[in-house]
Amino acid sequence: MTKKLVLIVIIPFVLISCARREVKIEEEVVIIPKDTIPPVEEVVKIPLELSRIHFDFDKYHIRSGDAKILEKNAEVLKAYPKVSIRIEGHCDERGTNEYNLALGERRAIAASDYLVRLGIEKKKISIISYGEERPLVPEHNESAWAKNRRAEFVMMK
């Protein structure tokens, strides 16, 4: 008898707690005028990166082929005047760490000076040398070393 009484008392509470509650969600619709959304062409035109240049062994002079790359990089930078860049100087693994850090810095400075002569404001350029610490190709041969002797250009805001 007590079991029946307990069941009669508990069952309504169980049913009430399982009942569904309706929740009203109010959606707010925002209308964006067409003239505030940039066309897709404008978004696609922004380059993702600037091209890197390479150097001869133990040199920091800009080669003629790399001068053309720097001219193209300068055109991109002129098209986006609010963008700043960091030039990263790199070396191959030959030489001491100290020597390669200094050579990487001279390479970054040479690239920076060339861009300044092409009309890029010096205040928009920062430089850093990684020496031999960040090889592009980790192999130990002339082909890999030639690819690792470089200056890279990182776009900043």
In sequence order, what DSSP letters do the residues of the chain get, joined into one string?
-HHHHHHHHHHHHHHHHHS-----------PPPGGGSPPHHHHHTS-S-PPPEE--TT--PPPHHHHHHHHHHHHHHHHSTT-EEEEEEE--S-S-HHHHHHHHHHHHHHHHHHHHHTT--GGGEEEEEEETSS-SS---SHHHHHHHSEEEEEEE-
Q: What's the pLDDT band for 12 if we cut at 50, 70, 90?
A: low
Query: How is the chain split into domains, by residue range?
Result: 39-156
Predicted confidence (pLDDT) at residue 40 exceeds the cutoff of 80 = no
153, two tokens: 């250009």
Predicted confidence (pLDDT) at residue 41 exceeds the cutoff of 50 = no
Q: Please, are residues 131 and 91 in contact by the beta-carbon 8 Å criterion?
A: yes
For residue range 123-148, list pLDDT tens digits in order: 999 999 999 999 999 999 999 999 99
Q: Is the pTM of this model over 0.75?
A: no
Alpha carbon dihedral 127, 128, 132, 138, in 10-degree steps, equals: -80
30 or 125, which is more confident: 125
Q: What is the pLDDT of residue 43?
A: 42
Q: What is the pLDDT of residue 52?
A: 98
Q: What is the pLDDT of residue 110?
A: 99
Residue 41, Cα to own-chain centre: how many angstroms? 21
Q: What's the pLDDT band for 150 if we cut at 50, 70, 90?
A: very high
CATH for 39-156?
3.30.1330.60
Interval 64-90 mean pLDDT: 96
Q: What is the overall mean pLDDT for the chain?
A: 85
Q: What's the pLDDT band for 96 if we cut at 50, 70, 90?
A: very high
Instruction: Compute the half-sphere exposure of residue 21: CA atoms within 13 Å on the CB side of its CA.
Output: 6
Report strand pairing: 150-156 vs 84-90.
antiparallel
Q: Would you mind telling me the total number of residues written for the chain in this entry?
A: 157
Q: What is the pLDDT of residue 44?
A: 41
Predicted confidence (pLDDT) at residue 42 exceeds the cutoff of 90 = no
What percent of the chain lies above the pLDDT cut of 90? Answer: 68
Q: What is the pLDDT of residue 49?
A: 74
47, two tokens: 């380059």
